[in-house]
């Protein structure tokens, strides 16, 4: 059976990563898989802890935080599998999860990247993701299909083309990366998986969703809902994504729209709530896009110390 490499990134969340590893042992212990944990510049080295849970683990430690894309790209460089399965460490898988995704790629050669049905861990009958709508390049917005619906099995038999895959759980064939390339690391956090989907599309592939595989996601445990770091990268990368992927007329329209409506609204909202740090983060994200190219490796912000 063909080997699948599961890649996950850990950043100062050892207990969460241990639970992730146990879920693989509990639900897919007999699969032909290798599991790769990339430690992304965490304060402490927990390699021995992780290997105590999963003895066959491939553990890679980076001394600096490479971001979501950089961490996963580092894992790709060590992966031997014909299939690459990218999972957040705040997820837990279900029975036959790996095989179900792999089988769908085998039966749909046109799909380059595929994501499963994602349910909230706290409420396992509530849907987070059942596909994405296409991106509106004029506003930089799209929608998550099925979001907050109760799961009654309405997506269980479905495999379909979708707008984008979800970064919490996605699988591709390693061989296809010769045509597509790796994730763009200068996004660092947020929108990098959407940008990667666009690269797959330009290489001639479709994005896939299947309800034949399910995963549980412990949403918003990594960064927090109101951090300056998240606010900055969300503001910066939404515009960066459009600049990299939209036709130039749409890019021009978006720039005018973004500078005149969403950005001022966010700044005023944060100021009204006394969150001057968040208002500053939005402003810095806006300024970055007016002073940097779409390939610049300058993140524009000092990352917090470990």
Q: What is the pLDDT of residues 255-286, one digit of tens each?
A: 999 999 999 999 999 999 999 999 999 999 99
Task: Report how far residue 178's alpha carbon sits from residue 25's, in angstroms, rounded to the nearest whole number.
Answer: 31
Task: Report how far residue 78's alpha carbon sits from residue 87's, in angstroms, rounded to the nearest whole number.
Answer: 16
Q: What is the pLDDT of residues 94-131, one digit of tens each?
A: 999 999 999 999 999 999 999 999 999 999 999 999 99
Residue 296 has pLDDT above 70, yes or no: yes
For the record, the structure tokens of 90 come out as 């705040």
Phi and psi based region of residue 95 (left: phi greater than 0; alpha: psi -120 to 50; beta: remaining): beta
Q: Can you tell me which residue has the tokens 């999972």?
A: 87
Find the mean pLDDT for residues 206-227: 82
Task: Report how far residue 109's alpha carbon sits from residue 94's, in angstroms, rounded to the nearest whole number.
Answer: 24
Task: Report how far residue 1's alpha carbon sits from residue 17's, in angstroms, rounded to the nearest whole number.
Answer: 27
Q: List the one residue out of 297, 298, 262, 26 whose CA is nearest residue 138.
A: 262
Angle between helices 67-78 and 192-202 in degrees, nearest 10: 60
Task: Report how far residue 258's alpha carbon sits from residue 35's, in angstroms, rounded to the nearest whole number.
Answer: 41
Q: What is the DSSP string of 163-186?
A: S--BTTEEEEEGGGHHHH----GG
Neighbours of 256 (CB within 10 A): 10
Task: Report how far residue 28's alpha carbon sits from residue 227's, in angstroms, rounded to the nearest whole number.
Answer: 35
pLDDT for position 188: 96
pTM summary value: 0.95
The percentage of residues in the chain with a pLDDT greater than 90, rounded to a whole number, is: 93
Find the mean pLDDT for residues 289-301: 96
Q: What is the pLDDT of residues 52-94, one digit of tens each?
A: 999 999 999 999 999 999 999 999 999 999 999 999 999 999 9
Find the mean pLDDT for residues 3-23: 96
In sequence order, what are the residues at sequence separation of 6 or more whose Cβ sits closer than 8 angstroms to the Cβ of residue 41?
A: 11, 62, 63, 64, 65, 66, 306
Q: What is the pLDDT of residues 144-189, one digit of tens each?
A: 999 999 999 999 999 999 999 999 999 999 999 999 999 999 999 9
Neighbours of 142 (CB within 10 A): 15
Q: What is the pLDDT of residues 123-133, one digit of tens each?
A: 999 999 999 99
Find the mean pLDDT for residues 190-215: 98
pLDDT for position 223: 45
- What is the Rg, in whole angstroms, of the alpha carbon atoms belonging to the chain? 19
Find the mean pLDDT for residues 8-35: 92
Task: Report how far residue 49's alpha carbon sits from residue 16's, in angstroms, rounded to the nearest whole number.
Answer: 12
Q: List the one residue out of 168, 291, 286, 304 whose CA is nearest residue 229.
A: 304
Q: Which residues pair with 132 in a beta bridge?
A: 144
Helices (H), 108-227: 177-180, 192-202
Neighbour-count burial of 242, counting CB atoms closer than 10 A to its CB (0-12 exposed, 13-18 middle, 19+ buried): buried
Residue 222 has pLDDT above 70, yes or no: no
Mean predicted lDDT score pLDDT of the chain: 95
Residue 191, helix vs strand vs coil: coil
């Amino acid at each position: 059976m063909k080997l699948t490499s599961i890649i996950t990134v850990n950043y100062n969340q050892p207990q969460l990563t241990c639970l992730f590893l146990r879920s693989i042992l509990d639900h897919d212990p007999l699969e032909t898989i290798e599991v790769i944990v990339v430690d992304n510049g965490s304060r402490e080295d927990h390699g021995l802890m992780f290997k105590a849970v999963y003895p066959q683990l491939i553990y890679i430690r980076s001394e600096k935080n490479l971001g979501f894309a950089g961490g996963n790209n580092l894992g790709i460089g060590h992966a031997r599998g014909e299939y690459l399965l990218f999972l957040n460490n705040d997820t837990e898988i279900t029975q036959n999860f790996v095989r179900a995704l792999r089988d769908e790629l085998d039966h749909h050669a046109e799909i380059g990247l595929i994501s499963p049905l994602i349910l909230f861990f706290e409420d396992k009958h509530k849907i987070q993701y059942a596909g994405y709508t296409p991106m509106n390049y004029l506003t930089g917005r799209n929608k998550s299909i099925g979001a907050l619906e109760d799961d009654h099995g309405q997506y269980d038999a479905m495999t379909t083309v979708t707008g984008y895959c979800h970064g919490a759980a996605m699988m591709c064939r390693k061989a296809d990366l010769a045509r597509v390339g790796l994730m763009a690391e200068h996004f660092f956090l947020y929108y990098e998986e959407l940008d990667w989907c666009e690269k797959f599309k330009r290489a001639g592939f479709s994005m896939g969703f299947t309800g034949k595989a399910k995963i549980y996601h412990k949403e918003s445990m990594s960064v927090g809902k109101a951090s300056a770091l998240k606010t900055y990268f969300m503001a910066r990368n939404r515009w960066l994504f459009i600049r990299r992927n939209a036709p130039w007329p749409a890019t021009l329209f978006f720039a005018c729209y973004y500078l005149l409506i969403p950005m001022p609204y966010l700044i005023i909202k944060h100021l009204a709530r006394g969150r001057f740090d968040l208002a500053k983060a939005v402003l810095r994200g806006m300024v970055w896009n007016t002073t940097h190219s779409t390939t610049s490796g300058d993140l524009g912000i000092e990352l917090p110390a470990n």
